[in-house]
Chain A
């Protein structure tokens, strides 16, 4: 079984982002960038399936600028076998465009399973996996917290609003990873060195014949209404009195 894992380079989860004062977006210059955390869960799951002998090859793919190659190297250092960089300098690439690019990559790679993060922590869209599944006509399981591969099918436990549910999908399928799917590994130094020699192929949306022009127009990006720190009360009794006063009980 071959597994394809799409990944995205995003502002690191621990960075407190800054909105540009002119409303033109979020400042990403000189900010620490990392692989989207959910994508690390996706790679980890693929690697575990390979280590268990279920999968034979783990291929990672990203759509993005020159610098996105760093994210691919990070995935290779975790243990992925090879990488595909769909290179573009487009400043904004929407989930629909990414799904179309991935569909084109899948046409030549022909994986049996696609695992990707359930959402990117920058634009928080939570769309790409679902869109890809729909475009391919493959079954989908989003927000996965457990995957069990069977013969020609897989059982996926999903985190839903009311608790958990389990689906059986015929393969090939698209699965989006939730944080509790696994605990992603850190890349060891020898593996970081080895990753530099692993194959990384480059292509482009144009070569794949995909139009990635954005459909939405971003008019502005602003700071949310902030909260300010209130007061520290001295006791539980004082807190109870304040809450009664505020009329929220």
Chain B
């Protein structure tokens, strides 16, 4: 039959995670529809319709969907599920929040963080912080979240029809009060080509910014952080790279003052080139780094910025 993807967006623009989930969804071999749910999402639906190989875009536009709460989102997906063999979402905070509810309400097991589609019913997914890869076979209706760092984005070239949907009523037992979103002019961490990450060795929030920003500016990189740096208050929670933070796989990952705990490696070890700068030559991060530089990061990072001129 057909595959349905829950589009990832921020209320204004379509997120690239959608195009990456589309690549995974197409590997299931069935026609793909994309659901754009939110409030005043016309432009986002239009962007989804342009993605290559999309058969139809469903637009669910209602105030109750504005904040992408899990309850109305899952109710909407369940109301559509009868028409689909597979329901797919990128493993973003919205996808992870919503899809297990859909699976439970449909009485199926979700396959989380699919990193490879082996066959239309067989998938690889990382377990134990990526230290093992499990191959699982599902039967019946599929509910999948997709590890977006494992797939390339599908390009544009389509012109799918857009169909408006009726939205089920929400019981309002969960209400959105507010958000503190990080504003950054840098590329988004999850999809950046280059990531510069800092650890606890930076020593303070001021130093974290002072040392990393010039390098990130020079490379047009996103800035990430280890859990230790986030816990210490040097960086915002949405910058955390690791097993339970964001999983990234950029062309270049520069780990600065990061020792390389298993949980951090889980979030970056699929990067193409890894660079580590650390004063401890025995730090585990050097075991996964293509290029290591041992020494004081406070002199080495500015020197690197200069050398890149």
Q: Hey, which bits of chain A sit against chain B, CB under 8 A?
A: 11, 13-14, 16-17, 19, 26, 38, 94-96, 99, 118-119, 121-135, 138-143, 145, 155, 158-170, 173, 178-180, 214-224, 227, 229-233, 235-237, 239-243, 246, 248-249
Contact of A249 among B174, B180, B219, B238 (CB under 8 A): B219
Q: Which residues of B contact A173 (CB under 8 A)?
A: 174
The verdict on A124 contacting B129 (CB below 8 Å), with A163-B238, A167-B69, A237-B307 known, is yes
A248 engages B273 (CB within 8 Å): yes
Cβ proximity bits B127-166 to A, threshold 8 Å, 1 near / 0 not: 1111111111111100000000000000000000000000
8 smallest beta-carbon distances between A and B, as pairs: A236-B303, A139-B174, A131-B104, A130-B100, A240-B307, A134-B101, A230-B290, A127-B100
CB contact list, B112-130 vs A, under 8 A:
112-113, 122, 126-130
The verdict on A167 contacting B174 (CB below 8 Å), with A118-B244, A130-B101, A233-B292 known, is yes
A216 engages B133 (CB within 8 Å): no
B174 engages A170 (CB within 8 Å): yes
Q: Which residues of B contact A217 (CB under 8 A)?
A: 136-139
**Contact residues of A: prevailing secondary structure:** mixed
A128–B96 Cα gap in the complex (Å)? 11
A163 engages B132 (CB within 8 Å): no
Q: Which residues of B contact A125 (CB under 8 A)?
A: 110, 112
B231 engages A96 (CB within 8 Å): no
Other 8 A-B pairs with CB < 8 A, given A119-B244, A121-B243: A11-B128, A125-B110, A132-B104, A142-B97, A159-B237, A162-B238, A215-B138, A240-B304
A224 engages B131 (CB within 8 Å): yes
B136 engages A218 (CB within 8 Å): yes
Decide yes or no whether B263 CB sits under 8 A from chain A. Answer: yes
B128 engages A141 (CB within 8 Å): no
The verdict on A236 contacting B174 (CB below 8 Å), with A131-B103, A180-B237 known, is no
Binding stretch for chain A, among B41-49, B79-87, B281-289: B281-289
Q: Hey, which bits of chain B sit against chain A, CB under 8 A?
A: 10, 67, 69-71, 74, 92-94, 96-105, 107-113, 122, 126-140, 173-182, 190, 194, 219, 227, 230-231, 236-238, 243-244, 246, 251-252, 262-263, 269, 272-275, 281, 286-294, 300-301, 303-304, 306-308
Contact of A220 among B94, B135, B194, B238 (CB under 8 A): B135
Contact of B174 among A169, A218, A220 (CB under 8 A): A169
Closest to B75 in A: A134
Closest to A10 in B: B128
Q: Which residues of B contact A139 (CB under 8 A)?
A: 71, 173-174
Contact of A19 among B97, B132, B275 (CB under 8 A): B132
B174 engages A141 (CB within 8 Å): yes
Contact of A221 among B133, B137, B178, B180 (CB under 8 A): B133
Distance in Å from the Cβ of B288 to the closest Cβ of chain A? 4
A193–B287 Cα gap in the complex (Å)? 42
Closest to A141 in B: B174
**11 A-B contacts (beta carbon < 8 Å):** A95-B100, A127-B103, A139-B174, A162-B182, A166-B178, A168-B177, A221-B135, A236-B293, A236-B301, A239-B275, A240-B307
